[in-house]
């Protein structure tokens, strides 16, 4: 019986280590159905170090994954096979301007307003294009693709974190899931908010209309946000808010349901403004993430337009006042 020849060997990296063989192959042969991948592993068309292994085999760093030359995939090892190649407005060079921090394991960006985190012509597209040109090809993982650890709405600006390794991704994900990260947003709202508030609501999500709502129904989750007024003028207030939970549209919904919709957020009852609403993820603290060993906090400045807009409304010292309040809130244990 003629033996199967293999046209290429792929070396497992640190980011593949410990992952099941079938899950790695699903990333590599992304256009193959799962049942077919199981069959290919079973018949020996896919091997590890020249031997047949089960789909549940845990691959180790440095091991060779071999794929039969008879398997015709669109691009077996490509991490970037579905990326858009357009030189669009975010671009490879421009995305570097948004970097707040970069190391071998983490990129932290200051996302501008009006850019989606995911999808066509998004922040993710630009970051993946940047990584493609700035990553050692020999160190590329077979199964791990960096992605944002947190998400912001298209018209929300501020901090987005991109772990670049599987270990960092898992560690930060644990912190986010356990609500051990601290995020402080700057928000401009309607109405005169005169004191610190703590809001706790049961909220649900209409996935068809893509809108969240406050409800006492069974299919709801608790949303908790602390709100601190910074300055008021006429019928608007500049606030800092600290979402303890991380529900979809939590900040926008809770401000609206408590009578202070974001100015310009027409989706949640705010008055229409040509420049839209102002919601900015200004600070993220990872001090309580014991699994994570990088910098413990990040600050994202407002855009020039946002700064001038707020200075016009609240005076030239308003940005410094926001920064001072963030420090006071942070140093007082977010109480």
Instruction: Report residue 334's pLDDT band, with 50, 70 and 90 as the boundaries.
Output: low
Terminal Cα-to-Cα distance of the chain (whole angstroms): 73
For residue 290, pLDDT beyond 60:
yes
User: Which of the four pLDDT bands, split at 50, 70 and 90, describes residue 296?
Assistant: confident
**Nearest Cα residue to 136 out of 7, 292, 15, 277:** 15
Compute the average pLDDT of residues 71-94. Answer: 46
Q: Identical fold at 6-68 and 92-169?
A: no
- Cβ–Cβ under 8 Å, residues 176 and 149: yes
Which pLDDT score, from 0 to 100, does residue 2 have?
44
With bands split at pLDDT 50, 70 and 90, how would you rate the model's confidence at 90? very low
Mean pLDDT of 127-140: 79
pLDDT at 92 over 50: yes
Does residue 81 surpass a pLDDT of 80? no
By the 8 A CB rule, do 76 and 28 touch?
A: yes
Sheet bearing 6-11, strands edge to edge: 6-11, 64-68, 46-48
Bigger pLDDT: 157 vs 286? 157
Q: Each residue of 247-264: pLDDT tens digit? A: 889 999 999 999 999 999
One of 3.20.20.10, 3.30.2350.10, 3.40.250.10, 3.90.700.10 is the CATH number of 92-169, namely 3.30.2350.10
Its CATH class, for the domain covering 179-331, is alpha beta
DSSP labels, 273-311: -TT---EEEEEEE-TT-TT--S-SEEE-PPPHHHHHHHH
d(CA 12, CA 66): 11
Q: Which CATH superfamily is domain 6-68 in?
A: RNA-binding S4 domain (3.10.290.10)
Closest CA to 191 of 241, 240, 256, 235: 235
Q: Per mean pLDDT, which range of 50-64, 102-116, 166-180 is the poorest?
A: 166-180
From CA 317, how far away is CA 311, in angstroms rounded? 7
Task: State the pLDDT at residue 266.
Answer: 93
List strand residue ranges (DSSP E) for the chain, in order. 6-11, 46-48, 64-68, 99-102, 106-111, 157-163, 182-190, 197-206, 211-214, 221-233, 236-243, 279-285, 297-299
Q: Which residues pair with 298 in a beta bridge?
A: 284
pLDDT of residue 137: 67
With cut-offs at 50, 70 and 90, classify the pLDDT of residue 150. Answer: very high
Domain spans in the chain, listed from the N-terminal domain onward: 6-68, 92-169, 179-331
**CA-wise closest residue to 145 among 121, 166, 168:** 166
CA 314 to chain centre: 31
């Amino acid at each position: 019986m003629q033996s199967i020849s293999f046209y290429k060997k792929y070396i497992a990296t640190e980011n593949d280590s410990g992952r099941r063989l079938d899950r790695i192959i699903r990333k590599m042969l992304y256009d193959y159905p799962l049942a077919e991948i199981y069959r290919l592993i079973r018949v020996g068309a896919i091997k590890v170090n020249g031997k047949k292994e089960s789909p549940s085999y845990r691959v180790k760093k440095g091991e060779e994954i071999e794929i039969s030359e008879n398997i015709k995939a669109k691009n077996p090892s490509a991490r970037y096979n579905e990326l858009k190649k357009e030189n669009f407005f975010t671009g490879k060079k421009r995305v570097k301007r948004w970097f707040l921090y970069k190391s071998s394991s983490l990129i932290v960006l200051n996302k501008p307003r009006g850019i989606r985190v995911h999808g066509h012509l998004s922040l993710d597209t630009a970051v993946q294009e940047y990584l493609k040109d700035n990553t050692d090809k020999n160190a590329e993982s077979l199964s791990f693709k960096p992605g944002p650890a947190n998400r912001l709405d298209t018209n929300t600006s501020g901090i987005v974190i991109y772990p670049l390794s599987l270990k960092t991704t898992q560690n930060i994900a644990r912190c986010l899931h356990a609500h051990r990260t601290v995020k402080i947003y700057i928000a401009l709202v309607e109405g005169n908010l005169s004191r610190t508030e703590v809001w706790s609501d049961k909220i649900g999500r209409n996935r068809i209309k893509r809108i969240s709502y406050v409800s006492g129904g069974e299919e709801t989750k608790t949303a908790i946000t602390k709100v601190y007024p910074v300055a008021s003028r006429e019928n608007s207030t500049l606030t800092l808010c600290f979402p303890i939970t991380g529900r979809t549209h939590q900040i926008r919904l809770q401000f609206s349901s408590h009578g202070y919709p974001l100015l310009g957020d027409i989706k949640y009852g705010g008055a229409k403004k040509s420049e839209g609403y102002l919601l900015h993820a200004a600070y993220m603290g990872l001090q309580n993430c014991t699994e994570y060993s990088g910098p413990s906090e990040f600050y994202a400045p407002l855009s020039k337009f946002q700064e001038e807009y707020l200075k016009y409304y609240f005076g030239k010292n308003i940005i410094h006042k926001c920064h001072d309040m963030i420090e006071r809130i942070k140093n007082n244990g977010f109480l």
